[in-house]
Amino acid sequence: MAITYLKQAKSRPTAENNDIRDIVSVMLTSIQRDGEEAVRRYAEQLDGWTGDIALSDEARQTACARVPQDLKEDIQFAHNNIRRFAEAQKATMGECQIEVIPGLIAGQKQIPVSSAGCYVPGGRYSHIASALMTITTAKVSGVQHITAVSPTRPNVGIPDAIVYAMDLCGADLILNLGGVQAIAAMAQGLFGAQPADILVGPGNSYVAEAKRMLFGAVGIDMFAGPTDSLVIADHTADIETVAWDLVSQAEHGADSPVWLVTTSKDLAQGVMSRVEPLISQLPEPNQSAARQAWFERADVILCDSREEAAQVSDRYAPEHLQVQAEDLDWWLDRLSAYGSLFLGKETTVSFGDKTSGPNHVLPTSGAARYTGGLSVHKFTKTVTWQRCNAQASNELAHRTARISRMEGMEGHARAAELRLT
């Protein structure tokens, strides 16, 4: 296999950020001890927010009324697509029942969690789409109580469009909170929330660390790092389109890597020559973030064949994977490690990030090797049950007792043999 790096990311330290871990640990301990008082204190210190934490029904309706009608229609369009896709996913999740041996019936049930906490980022950007992705999917799954949170802006609170999206998707409670304090409030069930069974949604490194520390006591969607994207392109791809797709994903942040894997040196060189001029067209702070991501985090890799390109892509296991190449069905069958796949020049990760339907909460940092993204499955427990009659119980008891004694577990053996009587 012969691959050539025409551009390679700078090496970065792999050590965990102990400062973030220490800060988050102190905050979670404080909130565990002092509850709502500590949350209010952090909200004021970190976000400058001194208003109500729980958004009242009146405030919710007022915020929704301020959203322009055309934006409402755009949000409704995205919500409908996301809901329909989630409903199709749910339809694939079946319950079953089987007679394993005569008289022994076993089965499987699908039970949604009771409560979910949905985090909607709101720092540099107002992530309307994240509200749609998390809350809609939880609602379709059958979650009974959904709490939604998002960082506030001083003297404003959560942006109106995010409140509208949360309301449209069915959030039962909206909290004017962001950061670690928001994660802790949902986990503990503060400000009228039900303690969350699962916490979902993207966030900054502090939010991700809080979710990681709370995992076990509550479920989480995944351990998330900075967003990443890879484009596979051959000689048929358009240089300008590939370059914009890379730039648009670098816009997420300075730590968001973008990668180009191609079988065409001409295309690679053309893309590299276009990226900087395109970045210069972005407003600030988007421009600075994209420029740093491109110069420090981007790889451009030249491969001899499409099989080599597929192997490279599978090793990267990107969160987002675009293919702009011939024979799209071959790529669909061949590629095996990605969060979400975008096939053909007519589609783009931007569609998936905002409106097209499949969830945009996806595995990062190579986690696509072993897991997929947020879906109705994340909000659902697949549980099993069994029962048996006297005939089945008799055979099970004899065999269970013998295996148990071989293992040295006498209590198990006697519990089994009781069924013989």
Active site residues: 319-320
- Tell me how far apart the alpha carbons of residues 295 and 329 are, in angstroms, rounded to a whole number: 33
- Tell me how far apart the alpha carbons of residues 200 and 228 are, in angstroms, rounded to a whole number: 19
Cis peptide before 285 (omega within 30 of 0): yes
Q: Which of these, 247, 228, 257, 253, lies nearest to 339 by C-alpha position?
A: 228
Cβ 385 vs Cβ 111: under 8 Å:
no
Helix/strand/coil for 161: helix
For residue 75, what are its two tokens? 């949000």
For residue 111, what are its two tokens? 């039970």
Across 340-417, the runs of DSSP E, i.e. the strands, are 340-343, 380-388
The dihedrals phi and psi of 17, each to the nearest 5 degrees, come to: -80, 95
DSSP 8-state symbol, 66: T
- Tell me how far apart the alpha carbons of residues 26 and 30 are, in angstroms, rounded to a whole number: 6
- Tell me how far apart the alpha carbons of residues 34 and 121 are, in angstroms, rounded to a whole number: 25
Cα–Cα distances in angstroms (integers) from residue 58 to residues 20, 65, 93, in the given order:
37, 11, 38
How many whole angstroms from its chain centre is CA 316?
18
For residue 126, what are its two tokens? 């107002």
Helix/strand/coil for 147: strand
- How many Cα atoms occupy the beta-carbon half-sphere of 126 within 13 Å? 13
- Tell me how far apart the alpha carbons of residues 134 and 122 are, in angstroms, rounded to a whole number: 14
- Cα pseudo-dihedral 396, 402, 407, 411, rounded to 10: 70
Q: What is the number of other CB atoms lying within 10 angstroms of the CB of residue 223? A: 15
For residue 58, what are its two tokens? 């009146």
- Cα pseudo-dihedral 369, 375, 381, 382, rounded to 10: -70
Q: Which of these, 255, 256, 314, 260, lies nearest to 8 by C-alpha position?
A: 260
